[in-house]
Amino acid sequence: MKSLAKTPLKLAALIVFVVLGVNVTASAQNPRISTAQLDGLASKATETVDLNLDESMMQLAARAFSGEDPDEIKIKDLVNHLKGIYVKSFEFETAGQYSDSDLESVRSQLRNSAWKKIFSASSKKEGGVEVYLMQIGAEITGLALLASDPKEITVVNIVGPVDLQKLSELEGHFGVPILDIDLANPKRKNQDRQE
């Protein structure tokens, strides 16, 4: 039988196919979500925050926490293993400045099988919060949080092995908002919220 790799043209086509295939698979399991499509909202927002802490910055940031204080040890340990924290938020003067399609541009990335929604709450007054985890095997490799109310959108994306028990320690640090959600046990803690 004639081997596919025997002719140079077919070999080249095979390489292109493999490279593209690897890229598609890698992006499906990439816990880093894209929020660039929200950037257009900045021109309508009264407050805009865009925070990018990549892996090298995370390792650097971990040095800021003391190895003696028990609370700081927890944060240091958590931060040491993370590969990135990305926060983007927009605040608007009035309601109606963003549309569902803006949120959908983020949600659509979280709809693939690698992501699992672990928490969802919404109310007309306070808006909604959705939390998604990416899990490969037993390991959590990423977290995405989408919070919105009529005058605000916040997207938080944490990349790396996330320990849900310790995650609340990050709230209020590195631009991560205070979530008031027990992510390690979301249903029980938030049973008063609409699921």
Q: How far is the CB of 55 from other proteins (least distance, A)?
A: 11
Q: Which helix (DSSP H) or strand (DSSP E) does residue 71 occupy?
A: helix 70-81
Would you list the DSSP string of 72-93? Answer: HHHHHHHHHH--EEEEEEEE-S
Evaluate whether 96 touches 150 at the Cβ level (below 8 Å): yes
Nearer to other proteins, 4 or 42 (CB): 42
What x-and-dash track marks residues 15-54 binding other proteins by CB under 8 A? xx--x---x---------------xx-xx-xxxxxxxxxx
Residue 186 binds other proteins (CB under 8 A)? no
Instruction: Candidates 62-70, 99-107, 110-118, 122-130: pick the segment binding other proteins (CB under 8 A).
Output: 62-70
What x-and-dash track marks residues 93-112 binding other proteins by CB under 8 A? x-------------------
Would you list the DSSP string of 124-185? Answer: TTTEEEEEEEEEETTEEEEEEEEEEETTEEEEEEEES---HHHHGGGTTSTTPPP----TTS
Q: How far is the CB of 42 from other proteins (least distance, A)?
A: 5
* Per-residue CA distances from 87 to 24, 100, 126, 156, 174 (Å): 25, 19, 20, 5, 9
**Considering only residues 151-180, where is the footprint of other proteins by CB under 8 A?**
173-175
Summarize as ranges the residues that interact with other proteins (CB under 8 A): 7-9, 11-13, 15-16, 19, 23, 39-40, 42-43, 45-54, 56-57, 60-65, 93, 173-175
